[in-house]
A and B are shown apart, each in its own frame.
Chain A
Amino acid sequence: MSSTLKTKGENITNAVQVLQETYKSLDLLFAELDRVGKEEGFVSLTPRFLRWKSDAYPEGWLTTNFIKLYQKETDSPLPQLDEVREGTLYGIEVELQPEIGYPIISLNEYSYDFTYWNRLPSISDHWLYHNPFYLENEFNINEENGKWTSAPLDKYKKRYWGLLSATGQDFPLAEISSPEDIRIKLFRKI
């Protein structure tokens, strides 16, 4: 293989091709999440997935983490922002490059003091929903058998839009392979 790379770089082309095909599948997955979510009584909070992207860091050239946000349709709207509901916020997060193991899809739940909310999250607000399971200097994070709990340190509560606590559960991404999997393994787990 190394001789191939030295001559043609075939490995790189393969890697990019695998990623592009993966992105296409993820695009279908995200549309299906919205569709099945709607059938199961959830509303999608943003049309697109949330993500971190940066030209300044090579790690930020490639998107490896994607978050879609949902709420229960039956929860009542906030007085100050009627697109958001006074109730749990659900995040479905795809991580293609976890620290350990292989691609995962996580079901996250975030509870908020919604008085801090004054606008809808935008695509680049990804960090608000990703950092709770990632930044140990801003959150108390615990993980056991793929189940996560997190709460912001008091001084960071405002920065994270009144986040009180978050939980998350990981599943292998490759095991999600149909609309029925999405229904049963994700939305019906809520």
Chain B
Amino acid sequence: MLADIHNKLSTTGSNLSDRLEDLLTGNFFGTIRYLPFEAALGHILKKARFEQDDEHVQWSNLIEKERGFDAVFEFWPKHHEGEIDLRLRLGGTFAGIEVKYLSGLSSEDDGDAVDLQIDYKESRNQLARYARMLAEISEGKTAYLIFLAPFVTMKNVQEAIRSRSIIEPGVHLGFLSWEDVLETLNELSPGDLDLGRKQIVQDMQELLRRKGFERFTGFTQNLLAQEVSDEHYQFSPESLNSTVSWSWNTQTLKEEEHYVFNA
């Protein structure tokens, strides 16, 4: 709904992976804000990992102070450095969340993960820009930037960005994977929620499962039990009707006889 409200779903069919990202952002964060902060989003955000332990302690303290519906959600806020997917105001502190879903939908014919490389570079640039944006609007106060992506993308961006000083000082960069988000939702105790809120959590779990963010739990019994015999498709020329004959039409070409455009 949020992606539609913010005019993120163009009907031109261009840039599918961006639109899917915006759709996921809108669907997930647009829904989780209907729950009190401490009931769901707080648990999830606490799973973000930071390079330094003290950054994580400060982040956890900030999250724990937040209650009810006080957090302000700004989706795709306009700024000259670009539109981050979500900007949260927690008390007087800003926390930006940059969301990734699919990276590279092309067929990768050369097979050497060029798409991934480009995506990391692009992500690095985006994170640097959004960190500048957060530093600017925070006016010297500490701010947080969270990169939320499928685990493999998250890990690779995290490694690519480590030891590169492209993030504004004063902005703490945290990493969170969608797989961790789903796992945290699964760990919420449903007893604490009323029926309506339980349904909200169930829908979000279903959405993230559908997006493929479950962790590996082995090969399903269905898969192992599906029977396939060794019978296969056979193309046998002998079975073709031998009376069929190929007909190659021939046409005699005459020299000098060609098309002439005669105006």
A123 lies within 8 A of chain B by Cβ: yes
The yes or no answer to A1 lying at the interface (CB within 8 A) is yes
Tell me how many residues of A have a C-beta within 8 Å of chain B. Answer: 40
| Interface of A: prevailing SS | helix
Chain B interface, >50% SS class: loop
- Given contacts A123-B113, A124-B112, A25 and B219 within 8 Å (CB-CB): yes
Residues 32 to 53 of chain A near chain B (Cβ within 8 Å): 32, 34-35, 38, 43-44, 46-48, 53
B231 sits at the interface (CB 8 A): yes
Segment 192-220 of B: residues with Cβ below 8 Å from A:
212, 214-220
A68 → chain B, closest Cβ, in Å? 11
Tell me the smallest distance from the CB of A60 to a CB of chain B, in Å: 12
> What's the Cα separation between A72 and B34 when bound, in Å?
44
Contacts from B to A (Cβ < 8 Å): 111-113, 116, 150-152, 155-156, 159, 179, 212, 214-220, 223-224, 226-229, 231-233
State whether B112 touches A32 (Cβ < 8 A).
no
Given contact pairs A122-B112, A177-B218, A9 touches B233 in the complex (Cβ within 8 A): yes
A179 touches B215 (CB 8 A): yes
Q: Would you give 11 A-B contacts (Cβ < 8 Å), ordered by A?
A: A5-B231, A11-B228, A12-B232, A25-B218, A31-B216, A47-B116, A122-B112, A124-B111, A174-B219, A174-B224, A177-B217
For A46, what are the chain B residues with a Cβ–Cβ distance below 8 Å? 113
A48 to B231, Cβ gap below 8 A? no
Q: Cα distance A122–B116 when bound, in Å?
A: 13
Select the stretch in A14-22, A132-140, A143-151, A158-166 that faces chain B: A14-22
With A18-B228, A47-B116 as given contacts, are A25 and B223 in contact (CB-CB < 8 Å)?
Answer: yes
Given contacts A124-B111, A124-B112, contact A32 B232 (CB under 8 A): no
CB contacts (< 8 Å) of A30 on chain B: these are 152
Residues of A within 8 A of B159 (CB): 43
Residue A2 interfacial (CB < 8 Å): yes
* Choice from B116, B152, B218, B231 contacting A31 with Cβ under 8 Å: B152
* B227 / chain A contacts, CB cutoff of 8 Å: 14
For window 149-184 of chain A, which residues contact chain B by CB distance below 8 Å? 173-174, 176-179, 181-182
10 additional A-B pairs beyond A14-B227, A31-B179, beta carbons within 8 Å, are A12-B233, A14-B226, A15-B228, A25-B218, A25-B220, A28-B214, A31-B215, A32-B215, A122-B113, A123-B111
* A residues at B contact (CB < 8 Å): 1-2, 5, 9, 11-12, 14-15, 17-18, 21-22, 24-25, 27-32, 34-35, 38, 43-44, 46-48, 53, 122-124, 173-174, 176-179, 181-182
Tell me the smallest distance from the CB of A123 to a CB of chain B, in Å. Answer: 5
Pair A34/B151 contact, Cβ less than 8 Å:
yes
With the chains together, A18 CA to B150 CA distance in Å?
25
B113 with A48: CB separation less than 8 A: yes
Hey, which chain B residues are within 8 Å of A2, CB to CB? 231
In the bound complex, residues from chain A placing their C-beta under 8 Å from that of B216 are 25, 28-29, 31-32, 178-179, 182
Taking the closest CB of chain B, its distance from the CB of A27, in whole angstroms, is 8
Cα A34 to Cα B228 with chains together (Å): 32
Which residues of the partner chain A approach B152 to less than 8 Å between Cβ atoms?
Answer: 30-31, 34, 47
Q: Contact check, A34 vs B155: say whether CB atoms are below 8 A apart.
A: yes
A21 vs B223: C-alpha distance when bound (angstroms): 7
In the complex, are the beta carbons of B155 and A35 less than 8 A apart?
yes
Residues of B contacting A18 in the complex (Cβ-Cβ under 8 angstroms): 223, 226, 228
A9 to B116 Cα, complex, angstroms = 37
- Give complex CA distance A174, B220 in Å: 9
In the complex, the answer to whether B156 meets A11 with C-beta atoms within 8 Å is: no
Nearest-CB residue, chain B, relative to A4:
B231
CB of B232 within 8 A of CB of A178, answer no
**Bound-complex Cα distance A182 to B212 (A):** 20
Q: Which of A35, A173, A177 has a CB less than 8 Å from the CB of B151?
A: A35
Q: Smallest CB–CB gap between B24 and chain A, Å?
A: 18
Cα–Cα distance between A34 and B159 once the two chains are bound (Å) = 12
Least Cβ–Cβ distance between B257 and chain A, in angstroms: 42
Least CB separation from A30: chain B residue: B152
